[in-house]
Amino acid sequence: MKVLILSENTGEGHNSTAVAIKEALAEVGTDCDIQNALSLQSVRLSKFISNSHSFCYKYIPRLYGIGYMYEEKKHNKLSSIKTKAARRLYETVVAGGYEAVICVHVFGAIIYTEAKKNFGLSVPGYFVATDYTCSPGVNLTDMNAYFIPHRHCAHDFIRKGVPEEKLVVSGIPVRRTFLYKTDKAVARAELGLPVEGIIVLLAFGSIGCGPILEIYKLLISRLPKDVTIVVITGRNKRIYNKLTEGNINTPKNVHIVGYTDKMMLYMDAADFFMTKSGGLSTTEAIAKGIPLFCIDAVPGCETRNYEFFTKHNYVLYGKTNDELVNLVVRCVKDPALTKPYLERWKIDFPSGAADMIVRYIMSGKSDGHDNVTPQIDKNND
């Protein structure tokens, strides 16, 4: 079998999910290629959208949120640019001999649906949700199955028009490196962090959006000086420069890191993790079992993630930066406060999402959930 995964370059989340599925496919000897779905329309358009997405995320997140809410209401604007991409997808699948298409972004699912409808694409297609919500446009697609993050998300998909019989509760796939823990002392030594003491990790995604500076200032003013603070700014060079070029006097217990491909090690090294409510970053933290503190930093799908996690009491959270930091300080003094959340994760979150998806696809099922997936909760709102 040969599989094509359609991803998207708006942040690292979609690509990381694609890689996680590719890893699982490789373990069963299945060939797989990953392609940027937007590049099927235009490489120039793909770069423009990716850069615009990153800019809005970092500097004007409210504008991103407005755009997301508009799509939630109108939910059909992506369809205007799908025909050219659909034709190219059909040609790619035929020329490459692919036997299945997996879409980890809604645009890929939309062009797959167009190729199926208007160009005779006959191979099965699957959608993998990377946020804890039914994103705008998903209801316009026609996939063989929809892999969703959690049983409590099922109602949202059903309410927005996705057939219940096509829902498969799998969880969000994470890379193999997030499924295994490195000994804390080993991880700290490899990263050059203190072997002893408590470490608080602050990271707001690969793009580096959100109120990093504000939260950082609150942390250094309120946490004990023997607590190490690690700040990962991602690709946000402006924030990194502000933290490292003398505009702020960096205390000795603070480590500033730019973009890193060792996020899994930082999670293993840390005791507490503060982040925005991205679908992948929260799922990776849950896989690592590190106490998670979330803030609603970017409107849009991440607001929906934030609402999901706070409603079901899966994360510690603050409605303001001040409130969130005060909660972290309390937990540093009494780590037992985080244990109920970790216990809920063990019960409520499926593990091995990528393997489950691969088993499902390799089994030849055309649609519907089966006995390898948890029970959906179609009544939960």
- The more confidently predicted of residues 245 and 201 is 201
Read off the pLDDT of each residue in 285-290 and give the average, rounded to a whole number: 96
The pLDDT value recorded for residue 379 is 60
* Residue 321 backbone dihedrals phi, psi, to 5 degrees: -60, -45
| Rg for the chain, CA atoms, rounded | 21
Tokens of 153: 């998300």
Lowest mean pLDDT across 83-87, 179-183, 194-198, 359-363: 83-87
The confidence band for 85, taking pLDDT boundaries of 50, 70 and 90, is confident
**């649906």: which residue's tokens?**
113
Residue 78 pLDDT > 60: no
Q: Torsions phi, psi of 359, nearest 5?
A: -60, -40
* Domain architecture of the chain: domains with CATH: 2-173+352-362 (3.40.50.2000), 180-348 (3.40.50.2000)
On average, the pLDDT of the chain sits at 85
Tokens 């540093």 locate to 332
Query: Token digits for 367?
Result: 């649609």
pLDDT score for 371: 39
Residue 291, pLDDT score: 97
* Mean per-residue pLDDT, 178-199: 97
* Residue 211 to residue 197: CA distance in whole angstroms: 26
**CA distance linking residue 260 with residue 236, whole number of Å:** 12
Split at pLDDT 50, 70, 90, the class of 67 is very low
The CA-CA-CA angle for residues 346, 352, 356, to 5°, reads: 130
Q: Give the pLDDT of residue 8.
A: 84
**Residue 276 backbone dihedrals phi, psi, to 5 degrees:** -80, 170
Amino acid at 275: T
Alpha carbon of 55 to those of 63, 215, 238, 266, 278: distances in Å?
10, 21, 12, 26, 17
Please report the pLDDT score of residue 64 as a whole number. 43
Q: Say whether pLDDT at 24 is over 60.
A: yes
* β partners of residue 231: 202, 256
Per-residue pLDDT band at 299 (split at 50, 70, 90): low
pLDDT exceeds 90 at position 277:
no
Eight-state DSSP code of residue 152 = G
Determine the average pLDDT of the residues in 262-279. 95
Query: Given pLDDT bands bounded at 50, 70 and 90, which one contains residue 365?
Result: low
pLDDT at 182: 96
Higher pLDDT pick, 82 / 168: 168
What CA–CA distance (Å, rounded) separates 310 from 305? Answer: 9
Whether 65 shows a pLDDT value over 80: the answer reads no
pLDDT band at 370 (very low <50, low <70, confident <90, very high): very low
pTM recorded for the entire structure: 0.86
Within a 10 A sphere around the Cβ of 126, how many other Cβ atoms? 25
What is the predicted pLDDT for the residue at 109? Answer: 94
Q: Is the pLDDT of residue 66 over 60?
A: no
Report, as an integer, the average pLDDT of 263-291.
95
Q: Are 174 and 283 in contact (CB under 8 A)?
A: yes
Rounded to whole angstroms, how far apart are CA atoms 222 and 3? 51
Tell me the per-residue pLDDT of 108-136, one tens digit each, with 9 for 90 and over: 999 999 999 999 999 999 999 999 999 88
Question: What integer is the mean pLDDT of 31-51?
Answer: 72
**Which band of pLDDT confidence, cut at 50, 70 and 90, is reported for residue 38?**
confident
- Give the C-alpha separation, 293 to 298, whole Å: 15
